[in-house]
């Protein structure tokens, strides 16, 4: 399964961006992670493709919204009220099985990864 992200860019604090990711085949769960140099990959949000149940990290809850287009294998991350701390490389990830929903933020539970898209937020 191949994942291709798009939609990153540079914005000012308080502005919005929408990231998109398309999967080349059906998957059970898709998530967004972010990583800055020198730190581990952080789970941002995830969505179960069949039931559309969503999960968010505390740092983005209320500002970011994950959604999916099941028919087209797309997942989106709408990011509102962006902050400089949101600056990072954002990665789309997918699972080939449902796995444990409690593990949605653990990178090693995902089987496929995109190449990443950079988001930069200036103050």
Question: Which residues pair with residue 22 across a beta bridge?
Answer: 4, 74
Residue 112 predicted with pLDDT over 90? yes
Question: Is residue 29 packed enough to be buried (19+ CB in 10 Å), middle (13-18) or exposed (0-12)?
Answer: buried
For residues 119, 38, 61 and 113, what is the CA-based torsion angle, rounded to 10 degrees? 70
In the prediction, which pLDDT does 100 show? Answer: 86
pLDDT band at residue 33, thresholds of 50, 70 and 90? very high
In the prediction, which pLDDT does 6 show? Answer: 95
Supply the mean pLDDT for the chain: 95
Residue 71 predicted with pLDDT over 90? no
In the prediction, which pLDDT does 52 show? Answer: 87
pLDDT band at residue 98, thresholds of 50, 70 and 90? confident
């Amino acid at each position: 399964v191949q994942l291709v992200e798009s939609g990153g860019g540079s914005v000012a604090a308080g502005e919005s961006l929408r990231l998109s990711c398309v999967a080349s085949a059906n998957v059970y769960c898709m998530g967004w992670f972010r990583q800055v140099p020198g730190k581990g990959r952080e789970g941002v949000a995830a969505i179960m493709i069949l039931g559309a149940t969503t999960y968010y990290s505390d740092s983005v809850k209320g500002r970011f919204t994950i959604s999916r287009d099941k028919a087209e294998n797309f997942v989106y991350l709408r990011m509102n009220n962006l902050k400089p701390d949101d600056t990072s490389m954002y990665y789309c990830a997918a699972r080939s099985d449902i796995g444990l929903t409690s593990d949605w933020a653990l990178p090693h539970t995902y089987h496929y990864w995109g190449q990443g898209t950079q988001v930069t937020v200036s103050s």
